[in-house]
Structure 1
């Protein structure tokens, strides 16, 4: 399972890059990375998972080795959800499991509610099927305005991407991502940067700046109604030292998580499993053994919910 192959899947604006592990005839699992991360975020975890599954970790558009969106085409949450549909169409998958970390979990969660017949299992790593508005209602319009202004500003700017030394790049990355170990930082930068003559440049699209610009924050009523559509079994793994809030400002407030867990439990009943593990937001990279056995048991459980006729 240490071996993997690289894929390039055609989309109208270029390609989606992905990494594949395991036998093609194995049950498919699509792995979705977090905000500003890339497919390498699963390199430590997938070798510890069952060998008879077929895992594909994709780079969302504008991340990793995937093409940037065309000028004028914004990075909205719905577009990332659409990317999943494009990828599985290219792979000819009709039914598969989803494994999403952080932002990848909210994108995968929305996909699983919109296309419930396609997803048999949904695994959320320190994530939620949707981002709850909780304390965000008054900020929504501000976020939308900032997102539009930032996109226009970057598109108008002729400034080339910053070139920095590998050491400086790693230092800056670890400063902005306090939950990532140095080893894992190097792994993400390996796929997230390109070497040029004088150093490294980031691969990601500069129009992608803040998660709140691309998250679709939803009301509790919308959340409760949407999860009723799920046909998947759902495993939510919460890292005890992980994040609770997208913007990190209200990070001690665990009430939205409790609402999420209670709602999923109430709606899905025995199809929902909640597990807390020691570790931080990047536990799947820093200490993958903490989550590997839980995920493996969940993937191997035979009580897959049959597709509705």
Structure 2
């Protein structure tokens, strides 16, 4: 068996009331794939370096969340929310007629996976979570309230700006400038070296200035409504996941998996031989992007164990088909030989 190819994919558009969800389905199209969900302000390009390291017998459907990448933006007047994002998972399942789902999520995508797995555990057969489990803890309620109020104001300002953008193109920059902006915005979790994997799906070419581009994602996603999951609720959610295969990979230099995860981790470990947790030394929040090989060391065995190849997925299947065709030829040859013998006797 080999690994997936980054060039072997089919572009997909999943219809939604507000437009469509854009995605790329890598590899095997004959079986239910792993559904891969990116993080906040990212897009499906975040998995570019990981995809070619995954086994080729199973497909991976990477999607752009609404407002991100090449997916449709929500209508004017609407607000992005983590609650609404969770509903994207069953929407994709319904589109393809899946009764089960395998999830791989980074950051926001990992939070969505945890929330969905706790809400509908009977429909989940495994989860791979990259440097996340829960939203960041609420340390200072006053600061959190101030932040929410500030984001509300900025969201309204962004709506006004978008109304004006019908008449004026957004500010544009060179790709070099956008690369630096992206790296700075991620606190260098996405380095300038790897920024290209995200930029190719979230910029549009300026119609006014040659060699300049502007961010095409919805500016309102910067002010989406996140949540704080208090410890008691987090514990109950973890209990509902029970014995589901669950892999968490943490970057050692990232603070997204911290003390708030200790009790859920303890619950998920208890009587669950399918729970795995690993830390990648030197990894930042985008650990799967800059340390893809290290992540694959844990992800590939996890996939092979919990989503093993079926007979129709094995590379041997092709040989079996050839053997079957050879058998048919032998039968035909014997038939013609017998017919020839009968004619000679006559």
TM-score range, shorter chain: 0.7 to 0.9
Whether 2:174 is the aligned partner of 1:165: answer: yes
Aligned equivalent of 2:157 = 153
Q: Deviations over 1:101-134 (max 9, x none)?
A: 1111001111111121111101110010x32534
> Which residue of the other structure, out of 284, 287, 299, is the alignment partner of 1:283?
287
TM-score under structure 2 length normalisation: 0.79
Structure 2 counterpart of 1:242: 254
Q: CA deviation at 1:150?
A: 2.3
Who is 1:4 aligned against? Answer: 9
One of 30, 38, 42 as aligned partner of 1:33 = 38
**Match of residue 20, structure 1, among 17, 22, 25:** 25
What corresponds to 1:209 in structure 2?
222
How many aligned residue pairs are there?
292
In the TM superposition, 1:53-202 aligns within 5 A as: 53-128=58-133, 130-131=134-135, 133-157=137-161, 158-159=164-165, 160-177=169-186, 178-197=188-207, 198=209, 199-202=212-215
TM-score where L is the length of structure 1: 0.88
Report how far residue 136 of structure 1 moved. 4.5
Mean alpha-carbon deviation: is it higher for 73-82 or for 157-166?
Answer: 157-166
The answer to whether the Cα contact below 8 Å between 2:39 and 2:105 also exists between their aligned partners in 1 is yes
Distance in 1, matches of 2:300 and 2:140, equals 35
Tell me which protein shows more strand as a share of its residues: 1
| Shift in alpha-carbon separation, 1:94–1:139, aligned structure 2, 3 A | farther
Q: CA RMSD in A?
A: 2.0
Unaligned runs of 5+ in 2: 309-346
CA separation in 2, counterparts of 1:170 and 1:220?
38
Kindly provide the CA deviation profile for residues 11-43 of structure 1, in whole angstroms up to 9, marking residues without a partner as x: 001110001111122342000101100001111
Q: Name structure 1 gaps, 5 residues minimum.
A: 246-253, 305-309
Distance 1:303 1:21, change over 3 A: closer
